[in-house]
Homo-oligomer: A and B are copies of this chain.
Amino acid sequence: MSNKNIGIKDVAVAAGVSVTTVSHVLNDVSYARISPETRDKVRAISEQLGYGPNRLAQALRTQRTGMLGLVSEEIATTPHAGRIILGADEAARARGYNLMIINTSGSASPESRQADVETLLERRVDGILYATMYHRNVELPANLGSVPSVLVDSVATGGNITAVIPDEEGGARAAVGALLEAGHTRVGFINNTDDVPATRQRLQAFRATLTEAGLDGDAAPVESEISEVQGGYEAARRILAGEDPPTGLFCYNDRMAMGAYRAAAELGLSIPADLSIVGFDDQELIAANLYPGLTTVALPHYEMGAWATEHLIDAVEGKTDLALMALHPTILSCPLVRRDSVAAPRQ
């Protein structure tokens, strides 16, 4: 246990050497020529005294804090933030960095966002991770550019900052593919009404995948609603009310899928025997707990957090040029998570 009051000076005195020597030994300075005996003694005494460097003083001198700022939207309300934080924390720690976290809101004003970044800057973080809660376009605080920064789950409207985003299209293709693979030929899509990239890309991928499989993608039924349970319920009721209703349903997210489950139950449709459903998000609390378990597409929040951190640190350490990566956002795949809500359609 390190005693906070012990400094390099105390170690130096106890070991009978200079502060310089202790610093040289403990930092393994390449050009320092110090005898093995002295080295051993310094290390032993340092250990014995429970010495730990004062990272503040270190940072002040070296101009490196080893701290990364993470400004994240809606930490409390979505589990997604937690996964990004976890991915970032683990990646950071593996390389000796720590995270300073600041919560913000999706609806925060530009001034407030700027103040958040400012706080991080005053603390001299080495880099900043800017995470939004769902994939969308954002305009960034102007001061973000003053240290290396990476966007997580969004791209900048100006578009010249490195970003990681999920492969919406690939995920949607996987979801529809699972339905197709099970033998479904009448597949519907319950979509979101928000104008975000996911809405458009998933819809487009939905139609394309059907068309490529020889079905009429353009004619496939699509119903849009607010992306919550209630919206999913309403959209499902509508889509299942048509004649010749779909036997497979791709839902914009797990919450809407949950609504679709209820609609199915009310209509006496059993899942997956009468109706197969695939969701999106893999919100454990929902997807794993519905009955039957929901087959869904996972968003790579952990991976995006880790990827962003990894590359941010590379940039901080001069191993990478973020400007080059900023040309196109990096796209991480959204794997299908198979549970029990998909089966072959009834004959």
Q: Which of A's residues lie within 8 Å of B, judged by CB?
A: 1-4, 52-57, 59-60, 65, 67, 75-79, 81-83, 85-86, 89-90, 93, 98-103, 114, 118-119, 121-124, 142-143, 146-147, 228-229, 233, 255, 258, 262, 265, 283-286, 289, 291, 302
Contact = CB atoms under 8 A, between A and B. Distances in A.
A142 B119 CA distance: 32
A285 B83 CA distance: 16
B142 A1 contact: yes
A123 B146 CA distance: 23
A89 B65 contact: no
A89 B101 contact: yes
A89 B60 contact: no
- How many of these chains are in the complex? 2
B103 A89 contact: yes
Nearest to A123: B55
B258 A289 contact: yes
A26 B298 CA distance: 50
A38 B291 CA distance: 72
Contacts of A52: 118, 121-122
A76 B82 CA distance: 4
Contact of A123 (B56, B83, B90, B285): B56
A57 B59 CA distance: 9
Contact of A60 (B57, B78, B101, B284): B57
A56 B90 CA distance: 24
Contact of A114 (B1, B55, B60, B289): B1
A85 B90 contact: no
Q: Which of A56, A89, A102 has the most CB of B within 10 A?
A: A56
A55 B67 CA distance: 13
Contacts of A121: 2, 4, 52
